[in-house]
Amino acid sequence: MVQVRVLGIALDAARQHIVLLKPLGEESAEGRVLPIWIGEQEATSILIALGGDHAPRPLTHDLLVTLIEAVGGNLERIDVTRIEEGTFYAELTLVTPAGPLVIDSRPSDAIGMAVRIDAPLFVADAVMDDAGIPAEMVEHHDSEDEEKLEEFKKFLEDVDPEDFQG
């Protein structure tokens, strides 16, 4: 396993969101980066947490972290364990009063939780070897992502629950 950090969120040529994981201790433009395709909502949630911001109401990842803590647990680490037919798999390792638990998770949800509480992120060496790309291939879209984040925050501030009634 190699410990990684979230380098950022990027968009591919088809405008699909990708979370970029980079081994600790490597500069942004060197080594390898692991791109994992994620949904737009998960990308927004991760961007909010990376920016140190909070949504006006708890997002799903906030709720999960609060729930784990409320029952006396602690999210100890996240592991991206394997890739099968293009699908990434991850595990949450929890420490609970009843003992340790390892729970299957989508990487996007695991990362969304980890960035909220600074839980360590790890990637299996085989996953990095199979799916990692040279770091210089990554085009980072910070300003575009920040614009989307600001747009989403404005939406959250202005939305009225009655807007969702049928």
CB 113 within 8 A of CB 60: no
pLDDT-based confidence at 158, cuts 50/70/90? low
- In the chain, pLDDT over 70 holds for what percent of residues? 82
pLDDT tens digits for 42-58?
998 898 888 888 888 88
pLDDT tops 70 at residue 131: yes
Listed by start position, the domains of the chain span 2-158
If you count DSSP H runs as helices and E runs as strands, how many of each does the chain have, helices first? 5, 8
Read off the pLDDT band of 165 (50, 70, 90).
very low
Kindly state the helix (H) or strand (E) to which residue 100 belongs, with its residue range: strand 99-105
- Bridge partners (DSSP) of residue 94 are 75, 101
Task: Say how many C-beta atoms besides its own lie within 10 A of residue 78's C-beta.
Answer: 25
3-class DSSP string for 67-91? HHHHCCCEEEEEEEEEEECCEEEEE
| pLDDT of 145 higher than 60 | no
Nearest by Cα to 7 from 124, 138, 109: 138
Domain 2-158: which topology?
Bifunctional nuclease domain (3.10.690)
CA distance 164 to 108: 26
Report the chain's terminal Cα–Cα distance, integer Å: 48
Condensed to tens digits (0 to 9), the pLDDT of residues 101-123 reads 999 999 999 999 999 999 999 99
* CA–CA separation, 68 and 62 (whole Å): 10
Q: What is the pTM of this model?
A: 0.78
Residue pair 88/107 in contact (Cβ under 8 Å)? The answer is yes
